Amino acid sequence: MTGPLRVGTRASALALTQTTTVAERISSLSGAVHELVRIRTEGDVHKGSLTQIGGTGVFVAALRDALLDDRCDLAVHSLKDLPTVPAEGLNVAAIPERADTRDALCARDGLTLATLPDGATVGTGSPRRAAQLRAARPGLEVIDIRGNVDTRLARVAGLSESGPGDLDAVVLAAAGLFRLGRESVITELIDPAVMLPAPGQGALAVECRTGDAVDSPFAAALKDYDHTTTRLAVTAERAVLRRLEAGCSAPIGALATVTGEVLALQAVVCSLDGTQLLRLARSGGDLSADGADALGVGLAEDLLAAGAASIAPLTAQ
């Protein structure tokens, strides 16, 4: 590699913040100078509901094309946006240590999920969040919204002087707010007992061409940057999603944790209206990638056996 390390990113403030952190760390580990390559994705161009334009995978395809076309050397994704099926010719070579996995309520007047009045309007673009919100608080009105973090926060009364302030609250990923330094707008970090996060939430994925993962000036840096415990947890979570054949915008949550020699995994499948939730858990002692994957597949099988396919729009049977 004769030039700088080219790191592909979406152009949103959050993506740029995340990518810059990753690029600086890999530069530090490898000694390479880096530059950011901004890529416009279908998710940035089309502003309809994510469920209508193809789910969160629409943020990924253009970055992957840039890698395969040699317009960048690395691409940084929010792991929860990555489809569970690997892309031919590409490799997720590093998953850094995960940030906060929880969802965050950002509400007017310091309100929490319990203190929002019936009839309050709460915005989210995630069917998973919407379903669990409706289950926890059936009296709330859940509104489908799109936009970057600032655009969404501007929808909340009192949180921004420039926005419409037409909602009582929005729900966003806590990790993104912390990365942007916007944690002051959080009025509640929602307990996973109430709202399980998306598989992979809070984690980043650093993707490169398959050959570069083992033979490139930055291959060793990627290996050092990879966080084993985080990779095990997200492998288990994403295996649930893959086995259910649900897609990354489905009303499914999953969260895995490693404590000592035990990998514990829980998952929820929701009906879109939040009236039905199926939540199960499994744990295992095989702390290998194959063991984590098997744990996730096993929990997905448990969910299917318990009737998950009759609750949510799943392909798997």
Q: In which band, very low, low, confident or very high, does the pLDDT at 317 lie, cut at 50, 70 and 90? A: low
pLDDT (0 to 100) of residue 78:
95
Q: In which band, very low, low, confident or very high, does the pLDDT at 44 lie, cut at 50, 70 and 90? A: very low
- Give the pLDDT mean for 227-248: 93
- Given 73, 81, 103, 212, the catalytic residue: 81
pLDDT (0 to 100) of residue 1:
59
Q: What confidence tens digit (pLDDT) does each residue in 164-212 have?
A: 899 999 999 999 999 999 999 999 999 999 999 999 999 999 999 999 9
> Is there a contact between 279 and 307 (Cβ–Cβ < 8 Å)?
no
Q: What confidence tens digit (pLDDT) does each residue in 146-167 have?
A: 999 999 999 999 888 888 899 9
Please determine, for residue 50, whether its predicted confidence score (pLDDT) is greater than 50: no
As a whole number of angstroms, the distance between CA 243 and CA 231 comes to 18
pTM: 0.91
Please determine, for residue 96, whether its predicted confidence score (pLDDT) is greater than 50: yes
Active-site annotation holds for 81:
yes
Query: For the CA atoms of 178, 162, 56, 214, what is the dihedral angle to 10 degrees?
Result: -50
Q: Return mean pLDDT, the chain.
A: 92
pLDDT (0 to 100) of residue 54:
44
CB burial of 259-287 (b: ≥16 within 10 Å; e: otherwise) equals: eeeebbbbbbbbbbebebbbebebebeee
Q: Which two tokens stand for residue 156?
A: 């909340």
Please determine, for residue 53, whether its predicted confidence score (pLDDT) is greater than 50: no
Q: What confidence tens digit (pLDDT) does each residue in 3-24 have?
A: 899 999 999 999 999 999 999 9
Please determine, for residue 48, whether its predicted confidence score (pLDDT) is greater than 60: no
Residue written as token pair 């829980």? 266
pLDDT (0 to 100) of residue 314:
83
Please determine, for residue 56, whether its predicted confidence score (pLDDT) is greater than 70: no
Please determine, for residue 55, whether its predicted confidence score (pLDDT) is greater than 70: no
As a whole number of angstroms, the distance between CA 212 and CA 1 comes to 11
Please determine, for residue 52, whether its predicted confidence score (pLDDT) is greater than 50: no
Task: Using alpha carbons, list the distances in angstroms from residue 15 to 18, 128, 149, 249, 301.
Answer: 5, 22, 11, 19, 34
Q: What confidence tens digit (pLDDT) does each residue in 253-300 have?
A: 999 999 999 999 999 999 999 999 999 999 999 999 999 999 999 999
- Give the pLDDT mean for 29-36: 95
- Give the pLDDT mean for 119-144: 97
Q: Which two tokens stand for residue 274?
A: 């939040």
- Give the pLDDT mean for 121-139: 96
117: Cβ contacts below 8 Å, ≥ 6 apart:
none
